[in-house]
Amino acid sequence: MMSSSTGPQAPFPPSCAPNWDRLDPHPDMNFPHSEDKAGYITYIPGDPAVNLVLDEVHAHLSDQLNTPLLDELHDQLWLVGRKSGLNIDALHMQRAKGRNIIATEDPRLHLVWDRGKIYIKPVPVFLLNHDFWTIYLPPPEREPCSKNSPVPSESATVAFDRSVAVGFLRSYSLLVSHRLDFVIAKESHLIPDDIDWPQWSRFICHLRRVEDEAVAKRFHYGQLRLSRLNWAVRIFRPRHAGTMWFYEIPHWSTTEFVAKATLPLVFVFASVSLLLSSMQVALAVPSEALRSPGISEDGLQNLSRAFWMFSIVAVLLWVVVLWGYRNRGKKSVTGIAIV
């Protein structure tokens, strides 16, 4: 393979690469080409529709891995999650916490969780190929260039930030660190089918050594809670947001929205009705009608207070019951579910 002659340019050695496709870069790329084209591919590994042309590759990488909305919100992400790239639960722990693993191709949803689910982007095949890293994701000191254009023009595609790809792969070193995690990842279609556990184990161990300095800022954070991201979008109004209300639209059906909104609406209606009823009883009954030789003025005041206390205690008990029902079985790292 050509990577053996160009030196270690990937965050893993050539011998540990899970994908061994041999690449035939575009002739304009300043890399040696084999005379024998047999067995070589002219497209991105795993994506036959994308040719190995520099601009096409960079555009594909941006589409697959960039998170401009999270980058724009980076200074406010401490309000959304803990600033630690290691704050990522392994897949078996995701299951233990009652979260369904939802595979998504949207990079901005990678490691975003909400109640009973967490979104995870499958590993792109090209990130498992050592030659691809050597040619298209080299370290900053050696960017790929064309023979005929050593100085990029203003119209040229901006080079893709390698640290984004490194951070993405590092997240998988925490997600899939045990054999059980690997089995769950295969069931969830997160890892290519042709990779076995020994291959993955030899490959991913090198990503656990990567420090924060080598990854993009988004991966200085781990898991992010969707409900808090929604509030961050509403408060800070980032320009990359699709809507002014949601990071990700939670309901795709009016029926689903109405079903989930019914209980809170009923709770509010019943609470207000209970309060108004107690006020009506306290104000509608004249004090003379309650007077008797056995009831003093203080007794009337106590009776009036009882109407109010009953309504307030009933509402508070209802809130406690609903809170316990909503958070049953859910535990955070500290053992307490945080809204």
pLDDT digits (tens, 9 = 90+) for 82-127: 999 999 999 999 999 999 999 999 999 999 999 899 999 999 999 9
226, part of any domain: yes
Residues 6+ apart with CB under 8 A from 150: none
Q: How many CB atoms lie within 10 A of CB 217?
A: 16
Q: How far apart are CA 9 and CA 223, in angstroms?
A: 28
Residues 6+ apart with CB under 8 A from 162: 137, 138, 139, 140
What was the pLDDT predicted at 334?
A: 35
Same domain, 89 and 136: yes
Same domain, 54 and 180: yes
Same domain, 277 and 225: no
What band does 67 get if pLDDT is binned at 50, 70 and 90? Answer: very high
191, part of any domain: yes
87, part of any domain: yes
Same domain, 261 and 189: no
Q: How far apart are CA 239 and CA 75, in angstroms?
A: 15
State which of 210, 236, 262 marks the end of a domain: 236
What was the pLDDT predicted at 218?
A: 94
Same domain, 37 and 121: yes
Same domain, 310 and 198: no
The conformational region for residue 237 under phi > 0 = left, psi -120 to 50 = alpha, else beta, is left
Q: How far apart are CA 171 and CA 221, in angstroms?
A: 10
**Domain extent for 203:** 3-145+159-236
243, part of any domain: no
Same domain, 287 and 191: no
Point out the least confidently predicted range of 137-141, 149-153, 196-200, 253-257: 149-153
Contact between 167 and 127 (Cβ < 8 Å): no
Same domain, 135 and 260: no
Same domain, 222 and 299: no
Same domain, 315 and 228: no
242, part of any domain: no
Question: What total of structural domains would you count in the chain?
Answer: 2
Same domain, 47 and 170: yes
287, part of any domain: yes
Contact between 163 and 212 (Cβ < 8 Å): no
333, part of any domain: no
For 88-245, strand residue ranges (E) read 100-103, 112-114, 117-120, 224-225
The pTM for the full model equals: 0.73
Angle at 111 between CA 109 and CA 113, to 5 degrees: 85
Same domain, 264 and 227: no
